[in-house]
Structures are given as C-alpha cells and as structure tokens.
Amino acid sequence: MATPHASEAPKAEAIEPITSDEDLTTSTTSENPDGSGEKLADQPGNRPRFPTHDFAETRVIEKTGTNGHVEITEEDCFDELGFSFPNRKKWWILSVIFIVQVSMNFNTSLYSNAIAGIASEFSVSDQAARAGAAIFLITYAFGCELWAPWSEELGRKPILQASLFLVNIWQIPVAIAPNFATILVGRALGGLSSAGGSVTLGMIADMFEADRQQYAVAFIVFSSVGGSVLGPVVGGFVETYCAWRWNIWIQLIFGVAVQLLHLLTVPETRTTVMMDKIAKRRRKDGTSPNVYGPNELVPWKERFSAREILITWIRPFKMFLTEPIVLTLSLLSGFSDALIFMFVQSYGLVYKQWGFNTYEVGLAFIPLIVGYFIAWAMFIPAIKRNIAERTAKPHDEKAQYESRLWWLLWTAPCLPIGLIIFGWTSTGPPLHWMGTAVGAAIVGIANYSIYMATIDYMVCAYGPYSASATGGNGWSRDFLAGVLTVPATPFFQNIGGKNHLPYAFTILFCISLLLVVAVYVIYYRGPELRKRSPFAQQLSIAREEMATGGHRLSRMPTGSRANSFARSAQNVRTGTNVESSVEASVEASVDRWECKLGDYDGRNGHVELDQ
C-alpha cells in the first residue's frame, strides 16, 4: 500500500529515461560506497548510484522533493528501530506475543466443550452445535488475511489491540446468547476479528533479520499449535464442573488479560511506523526540521488505494491455487492441523471405551503437547545445522533453500506413522490406552515440524512474496480445520462397522502418506519446480539484476514486510516488472529503463527512488 515518495507532488514526467549503462553511475557523492572516503578514479567526485557492497554497508539514497522535505532512512535511525532492541527486550516482546497467539488459538478449541450444553439448552443436535466451532475457524482463516495489510500500514500494536478488543467484545453475545443463532453470529464475527499469525509472525520480521529469525519463528509456531490443544485440556474441567457458558467467559477473561498485558508492555515494532514517529520527534525538538517518515510523504488515498488492498488480499489465494510448492505444502500443513481438530471431536469416542470421564478425555491431549515440546527441542540443532550449511555454501541454491526442509524429511513421516498407531490402538480393552497416547505424541511431532519447516522454506523461497505464500499456508490450516470439524464425528462413527475407528484412521493415514511423499519431491526437485513458478522466476530475475547493483536479495524483507516491498515496487514501477508480469491482469507493463531507478533498502521493505 504505502509507497514512499520524494514529496507530495512528484511529477512522473520529470523522470527522464536512462539511455545507457553509463547513466546508471550518476553522481550523488564523492565517497566510495565502502565508506573508506576514497574518490572513485574514473569519476572524481562521484560514486556509482548502485554500490557494490553488502546491504549493511549500503547508503540509501535520500529523496528530496521540491518542497525541501527529506525522507528519513533506516541508516539515519537504525539504533532506534526494532532490529536494535536488546535481546532481552526482543524476547520479552516475543513472550507476550506467544501468549497472545495462544489465546487466539485457545478460542478455536475451548468452544467444543460447550457443545453438549448448547445442544441441550437450545434443543439442537450436537452436530448443529459443532457449527459454532467450524464457523469460527473458517472466518478465522479469512480474518488473518484481512488484518495483515493494515498492520503494515498502521502498525502492529494498534491493529493487534483492535483485533483483541473486537474478539473480546464478540465473546459477550455468545456468553449471554438467548438463542443458537446469536452464538453462530458471535462466533463468526469473533473469528473474522482474529488477526492471528499474520501479525504475530510479522513482528518477528520487524525485529530479526531474515537469516537470524528461525529460532524466533520456532518459538511462535509452538504457541500456535499449542494453543489449540490447551483448549480441550482446560475445557474438560470446565465442562465437568461449570455451566457451558463458562467456556465462553473463560475465553473472555483470558482475552482481556492478554490484551492488557500487550497494551502495557509491548511497544510498536513496525519499522516504517517507528520511522514516522522518529521523524516527528526530530522535527519537534529541532534536530532535523525537514525530515519526514516514509508514510508522512504519501497521501492517505495512495496509501490505502482500494485497488492495492484488493491485490494484496487476493495474492495469497492466487498463490495457493497456482503455485505447486505453495499448494502442496499448504495442503500438508492444513491437513496436519485439521487432524488436531478432528481429534478434538473424536477423543470422546475413543477414550470412553476405557471409561474416561470428561476431564480425563481432556487430559488425553497432553501427549500432543509433549510431542510439540519434543519437536521444538529437536529443531534447535536442526536450525544450527541449517545455518552452518548455508554459511558454508553461500552459492549453493539447494543449501540456501531446500536445506530448510531437511529435518522435515525425518519428521514428516511421523504423521502417517502416528495416525496408524493411534487408529489401531483405539479399539479399547484389552489394549491399553497408552498406545493411543504414543500415537498422539508422534502426530504432535509431525504437526509442529510441518508448520515450522514449511513456513521457514516459503519465507526463503518466495522472497518479497513470502507473506502471501505463508498466508496461503495459514489460511489452509484454519480453513481445512473448520471445514472438517463438523463431519469429523460422523466420519469416525460410520466407517467400517465394528472397526470403524481403525478404518477411519487408516483412510487418514493414506491421505497423509500421499502428502508426505510430496515433501520429498519438493526437497529433491525444488529447484526445478521454482524455475517453473511465475513468481519464483521473476524473483530470480530480480535477484540477478539487483546483484549487478551490488545488492544481496537474500537480505530482502520476509514475512509481513514482504508485502510492503511488493506494493512499493508496483507503485513506483521498479524491479524487473516483478509484480506486473505475475499479475498482468491488474498491473500495466513497466519499461525496462524504469527498473534502473530503484534502490532497494533491505530492511524496511521499501524501494527508494532517486529523484
């Protein structure tokens, strides 16, 4: 949406086309770009517009408009941005965001323990009552995508506060619902109001460089998968000892506490929003009276163009449908997450065979949490290995990309293995219930590993489009979980006669086996698949062209910041027509000479345009 301009009224016709490669080295300063202060021998008093050094050493070209306004750059205030927060502060912020994410996913599953009470009070079937769980997950899937662009423009904190506030508000009509329709409406609005991982993962990108954020991603991924399982563990006790409405009141109490904790202890982290505030402070104290933030120099209508918002919202779904890598990994990730919510519906059928009461059925979800802890711990050395391999082989394409899936080659098979163990030990006595616990823990290892590895891989493989690629992944997880929640119980009850549970889980085993095989195909054929991808092809061309200017595209923004780059690129018409060629239906062609005008700043996700 936001595109930094030099002034409020720059004229396109003032930019003259570059007719030769020599024009690309037009002077801006007499310093050598490496900061040594030496003059360039071939151009005294000048330096190339595109320095041939690392991003960390690259001096971004300031944009000065006709009104004398100068846009602040990251180099001017890097020590005040999220990247420079002390590690203790970064991990405190992540810890609060961890709890925020847990609360959001807690809301998705705790409702299931209110189903019996809702069905009894409003005279609806249990199947009808499950619609409240399904509709929350389905609208949650779309809500995450709708909130993300606004967090990039207005800031993470106000958007996350707005999301938490609305989710808490919509809990109230559900808790005091006089009829079943009110419950469905409140749940739908609550799901749509949930920002979810689109904002929380974006905050990681605000504070950690792309090459250093794997540990933080692993931490937040745990909160996402763990929150969904915490619901039934707590819900078992609530259903046993409280009225069904307490399942909703507890969600509200948790949500309000989390919102207050976030409000009081978490600062803004979005880079461009922080730069706006820094510029305003410097103008106010007289330090830099003409400096302005990147969003201050852009008219409100340009920042929030309906056309750009639509493009941003549509892109995740387009990539999900047209990109084989995104589609396959998202289906695997979505199916894995949907299994957890199918477990929520099936555990009562399984464990009543051993005489488990309601809260004991809830406690049976603890093995899933144990599996998540095991998987998280195993990823620590896997990440270290990946970092070492990428460092040792900087020019090896497979080392930079597909190596991020290496540990998944070992853990993805846990999904079908865990399902078949759980299914064929769920027949009741004389078999011990511990067999199902082992199977559930193995499924937990797979679920965490799949989410973590697919997010990590797509962030790297799709560069500025990674937010859209991972958005498709997140959407798939929530949407499939919601769609499969309602038919889960009939599925487990009505397939296979006496052995209906083992046969049902055998079907899930076969589906998961096909999806797991695809992981090996992507790992070994990933480079070929990316070459056939329109998005990846254009990204590769952009990498090559930026390399000629000395830029390392591996340092391009990832996560939510990537959307800002994509939108900025299309607005100022830079890059090798990356956005326009991929979305030709909505973007006009860009002349090649215009590509030479852009200078990309690798951290705040904007394209700087030399006027």
Say if residue 34's pLDDT is above 80.
no
Average pLDDT over residues 8-28: 38
CA distance 127 to 489: 8
What are the residues facing 608 on neighbouring strands?
599
Structure tokens at 117: 């009470």
pLDDT of residue 583: 42
Phi first, then psi, for residue 291 (nearest 5°) are: -90, 140
* 144 or 189, greater pLDDT: 189
Average pLDDT over residues 574-578: 33
522 contacts 402 by C-beta, under 8 angstroms = yes
4 contacts 568 by C-beta, under 8 angstroms = yes
Say if residue 317's pLDDT is above 90.
no
pLDDT of residue 31: 39
Structure tokens at 150: 């606004």
Q: Using one digit for the tens of pLDDT, what is the confidence trace for 502-554? A: 999 999 999 999 989 989 988 888 888 887 777 766 666 665 665 555 433 33
Average pLDDT over residues 92-120: 94
Say if residue 610's pLDDT is above 50.
no
Say if residue 344's pLDDT is above 80.
yes
User: What string of H, E and C letters represents the secondary structure of 150-165?
Assistant: HHHHHCHHHHHHHHHH
> What does the mean pLDDT of the chain come to?
78
Structure tokens at 415: 């999904």
Long-range pairs, 174-179, Cβ under 8 A, ≥24: 174/132, 174/248, 175/245, 175/248, 175/249, 175/252, 176/245, 179/122
Burial class (CB within 10 angstroms; exposed 0-12, middle 13-18, buried 19+) of 266: buried
Contacts of 296 (CB under 8 A, 6+ apart): 276, 279, 280
Say if residue 576's pLDDT is above 90.
no
What are the residues facing 598 on neighbouring strands?
609
pLDDT of residue 497: 76
**Cα–Cα distances in Å, from 423 out to 247, 342, 347, 348, 434?**
29, 13, 11, 14, 12
Average pLDDT over residues 468-494: 87
H helices of 555-595, in order, are 561-572, 578-582, 592-595
Say if residue 26's pLDDT is above 90.
no
pLDDT of residue 221: 92
Q: Which domains does the chain carry?
A: 12-80+534-609 (no CATH), 87-269 (1.20.1250.20), 324-518 (1.20.1250.20)
pLDDT of residue 176: 96
pLDDT band at 465 (very low <50, low <70, confident <90, very high): low
The secondary element (H helix, E strand) that includes residue 202 is helix 197-207
User: What string of H, E and C letters represents the secondary structure of 382-407?
Assistant: HHHHHHHHHHHCCCCHHHHCHHHHHH
Average pLDDT over residues 369-374: 96
Where do the DSSP E strands lie in 235-347?
Answer: 291-292
Burial class (CB within 10 angstroms; exposed 0-12, middle 13-18, buried 19+) of 517: middle
Contacts of 259 (CB under 8 A, 6+ apart): 161, 164, 165, 168
pLDDT of residue 343: 86
Strand bridging mode 70-71 / 606-609: unpaired
Average pLDDT over residues 136-155: 86
Rank 135-149, 243-257, 321-335 by mean pLDDT and report only the highest: 243-257
CA distance 116 to 123: 10
**Cα–Cα distances in Å, from 503 out to 239, 345, 418, 508?**
30, 17, 14, 9
CA distance 23 to 45: 15
83 contacts 274 by C-beta, under 8 angstroms = no
Structure tokens at 59: 């001096």
Say if residue 566's pLDDT is above 60.
no
Which residue, chain included where needed, has tokens 């860009």?
Answer: 590
Q: Using one digit for the tens of pLDDT, what is the confidence trace for 39-70? A: 333 333 333 323 333 333 333 334 444 467 88
Count, residues in the chain: 611
H helices of 431-533, in order, are 434-461, 466-494, 500-531
Say if residue 587's pLDDT is above 70.
no
CA distance 275 to 73: 8
Phi first, then psi, for residue 315 (nearest 5°) are: -55, -45
CA distance 600 to 606: 6
